[in-house]
A = this chain, B = another copy of it.
């Protein structure tokens, strides 16, 4: 197999960043190529369309995050600690991005999903799929927390849906308002939503 190329990866990273920092519709294939330092012909050698690239880029983005999430949501960690660690990581990442590009970007999956779900079924399904995977982490943490008696959530799935919706809504608000405080306050909001007693939070 002659020639090793990192053009495909560079295109996916460039697409993720540009689309996150503006939008899918406002990001052109040319923009992505320039940022990735890859010529247009190479773009269409690796991806059959802009939509095709975005689907691959979303999956690659998730795969990268998944590794961290598997650590944070490890069953060896107390369930409320998992959620606390997750919100800490999220705040750190958003703060980092804010420093780099001057704005709060929110959730890259939800943002593009909301934008193109009525235009591109492939992207819609990919985003739906990825958000479903994220929900699984929340669900098992909630189920474990209920089993340990630190929260009352007989229906873990329903409670996870509540939490995920609150989470996504807050991320959307943070983006629209360009307001990091929304994200900073999310941990407290999540624990309030879960009905966590302050006593349970000692050391978390």
Query: Which residues of A line the B interface, CB within 8 A?
Result: 21-26, 103, 105-106, 110-111, 113-119, 124, 127-128, 131, 158, 161-162, 164-170, 172-173, 175-178, 182, 189, 192-193, 195
Question: Which residues on B sit within 8 Å (CB–CB) of A177?
Answer: 128
Bound-state Cα–Cα, A76 to B19, Å: 47
List of B residues within 8 angstroms of A168 by Cβ = 168-169, 172-173
- CB contact between A124 and one of B158, B166, B178 (< 8 Å): that residue: B178
Interchain residue pairs A-B with the least CB separation, the first 6: A25-B25, A169-B169, A165-B169, A168-B169, A113-B176, A165-B170
> Residue A176 contacts which of B105, B114, B173, B182 (CB distance < 8 angstroms)?
B114
Q: Is the CB of B162 within 8 A of A189?
A: yes
Neighbour of A114 across the interface among B110, B192, B193, CB < 8 A: B110
Nearest CB in chain B to that of A170: its residue: B165
How far does the alpha carbon of A115 sit from the alpha carbon of B162 in the complex, in Å?
23
A105: chain B residues within 8 A (beta carbon): 118
Beyond A176-B127, A193-B162, whether A23 also contacts B115 by CB under 8 A is: yes
